[in-house]
Chain A
Amino acid sequence: MIEPRTHRAPRGRFVEGLASLGSLAGAGLLILVALAVGSLIPASDENIEHRQRPYAVQGGVGDARSTDKLDIRVAGVRGAGKIKDDDRTHDTGGVWIIVKVRVATRTEAGLIPYAAARDRHGRIYELSSRIEQSLNGRMLQPGIPLTGELVFEVPKDAATDLTVLFADNSLDRRMDRQVEIALPTVDKATVDRWLADAATTLIDTEVSTA
């Protein structure tokens, strides 16, 4: 027996229009979602420097820390408004920060590839070339630590809170090990006292094996 075919009443134009509008809205929503997801990708790209930042090996004064090439121990820090190296006195528009450090290469002879001071705002101050520095450019032998002073020139407002950085590459330190030694914080009065001191601070221009 053949069942008589049932016929559905044709949908009105209004209903069809609504359905069509609904599918358009759905497509539009999908496009918006895709755009929203896409907009997150460049935002992530802008953070590439953060994602590729060096691997920090943190420590404080007196702590022994290592990069792949160097063993480092910061022994102390002092500040000054006027310093003297071998033959000249140097004043500054900022503050001189003098960091005593004991350093040796680990496996082969080499220099300190990178040493810098970083302030609390992230500004980086490399070793000053205004003066002769005993460890800057000094060839180090593996297993024979040398003690000397590293000298940085920083603005007055940066001198209160500094971290000294050591790394194995002076140009590209992305995703590389970086020793970060936090120097003791000092108050503004201490910085002012350094600057007001009329005496010239002598820089140790020789290294020692002590």
Chain B
Amino acid sequence: MSGNGGTGAAAGALRGVASHLSLRWVAAGIAVLTVAASGLFGGLRPTEKPTVPVIAVHTAFDGGPWTVTVNRALTLKTLEPLKKTEKAGDRWVAVRVRMEINANETWNRIDDVIRLPGVKGLRTVEPSEFYLVRDESLLVRELQPGIPEEVAFLWQQDGSVPRPEAMDVELWGMTHRKSSLTDMIEWLDSGPRALVLDVPVEDR
């Protein structure tokens, strides 16, 4: 009996306290609990960046929807008459690859294939132009499955930044999995999958 009475008294006291708490205090309590719980798993401490495998130049890498082989890196003073840099004095940085689409449809998102994380002065993170060697043209924005092509990915670089002598080329990939949003099997999780280190940069 005394045990039940004690529990009842405690519950009554809790109800009493709860009835006097404002919404602000409840929210603050939840926030404190959340921070305490997240602290158990490292809190806001930066997580380690996942490492990706390093591969050599001229080595084919299967990124999921595409297979890409980095063959050369170049800087070019000009691409004219095909294209001018948006700012006078800028140069072009190019990575020439052999690329084949493994996906079962025409692929028109080729700007998600390569990044140059260590190169300073690039005007854009993603390449701004694509050069199809077969056509000597910048017009193509898509590749057909099963037809390998030589392609150059091009970035504009601030001309006041020293020309890179070598650079790391980050190869991205995607995963073919069911989307939690659409329930369809799609190419998702675009991100870095491999790194080609110290690719010598030719000057043209």
Interface residues of A (CB under 8 A from B): 45-46, 48-49, 88, 90-94, 116, 121-126, 128-130, 153-155, 157-158
CB distance from B104 to the nearest CB of A (A): 5
CB distance from B64 to the nearest CB of A (A): 16
Q: Which of A91, A121, A125, A157 contacts B144 (CB 8 A)?
A: A125
Set of chain A residues within 8 Å of B144, measured between Cβ atoms: 94, 125, 128, 153-155
CB distance from A147 to the nearest CB of B (A): 25
Q: Does chain A have a CB within 8 A of B48?
A: no
Set of chain A residues within 8 Å of B104, measured between Cβ atoms: 121-124
Set of chain A residues within 8 Å of B121, measured between Cβ atoms: none
Q: Which residue of B lies closest to A92 (CB)?
A: B147
In the bound assembly, the distance between CA atoms of A123 and B145 in angstroms comes to 8
Please determine whether A94 and B147 come into contact, CB atoms closer than 8 angstroms: yes
Q: Which of B132, B145, B146, B184 contacts A130 (CB 8 A)?
A: B132
Please determine whether A124 and B105 come into contact, CB atoms closer than 8 angstroms: yes
Set of chain A residues within 8 Å of B108, measured between Cβ atoms: 126
Set of chain B residues within 8 Å of A49, measured between Cβ atoms: 184-185
Please determine whether A93 and B134 come into contact, CB atoms closer than 8 angstroms: yes
Interface residues of B (CB under 8 A from A): 104-106, 108, 132, 134-135, 137, 139-142, 144-149, 178, 183-185
In the bound assembly, the distance between CA atoms of A94 and B147 in angstroms comes to 6
CB distance from B140 to the nearest CB of A (A): 6
Q: A45-B183, A90-B135, A124-B105 are in contact. Are A129 and B147 (CB under 8 A)?
A: no
In the bound assembly, the distance between CA atoms of A18 and B147 in angstroms comes to 68
Additional pairs, 4, CB under 8 Å, beyond known A92-B134, A154-B146, A154-B147: A92-B147, A124-B106, A125-B145, A153-B147
Please determine whether A129 and B145 come into contact, CB atoms closer than 8 angstroms: no
Q: Chain A CB within 10 Å — which of B104, B139, B144, B178 has the most?
A: B144
Set of chain B residues within 8 Å of A126, measured between Cβ atoms: 105-106, 108, 142
In the bound assembly, the distance between CA atoms of A46 and B134 in angstroms comes to 39
Please determine whether B140 and A48 come into contact, CB atoms closer than 8 angstroms: no
Q: Which of A46, A91, A94, A129 contacts B142 (CB 8 A)?
A: A129
Q: Which of B134, B141, B145 contacts A91 (CB 8 A)?
A: B134
Please determine whether B149 and A129 come into contact, CB atoms closer than 8 angstroms: no
Pick 21 A–B contacts, CB within 8 A, sort by A. A49-B185, A90-B135, A91-B134, A92-B147, A93-B148, A93-B149, A94-B144, A94-B146, A94-B147, A116-B106, A121-B104, A123-B104, A123-B145, A124-B105, A124-B106, A125-B106, A126-B108, A130-B135, A153-B147, A155-B144, A155-B145
Set of chain B residues within 8 Å of A157, measured between Cβ atoms: 146
Set of chain B residues within 8 Å of A122, measured between Cβ atoms: 104
Q: Which residue of A lies closest to B134 (CB)?
A: A91
In the bound assembly, the distance between CA atoms of A68 and B24 in angstroms comes to 56
Q: Which residue of B lies closest to A42 (CB)?
A: B178
Q: Which of B106, B134, B145, B183 contacts A48 (CB 8 A)?
A: B183
In the bound assembly, the distance between CA atoms of A130 and B147 in angstroms comes to 14
In the bound assembly, the distance between CA atoms of A158 and B149 in angstroms comes to 17
Please determine whether A155 and B146 come into contact, CB atoms closer than 8 angstroms: yes
Q: Which residue of A lies closest to B178 (CB)?
A: A46
Please determine whether A93 and B106 come into contact, CB atoms closer than 8 angstroms: no
CB distance from A51 to the nearest CB of B (A): 10
In the bound assembly, the distance between CA atoms of A130 and B183 in angstroms comes to 34
**Which 7 A-B pairs have CB atoms at the shortest separation, nearest pair first?**
A155-B146, A126-B106, A124-B105, A93-B147, A94-B147, A123-B104, A48-B183
Please determine whether A129 and B141 come into contact, CB atoms closer than 8 angstroms: yes
Please determine whether B105 and A123 come into contact, CB atoms closer than 8 angstroms: yes
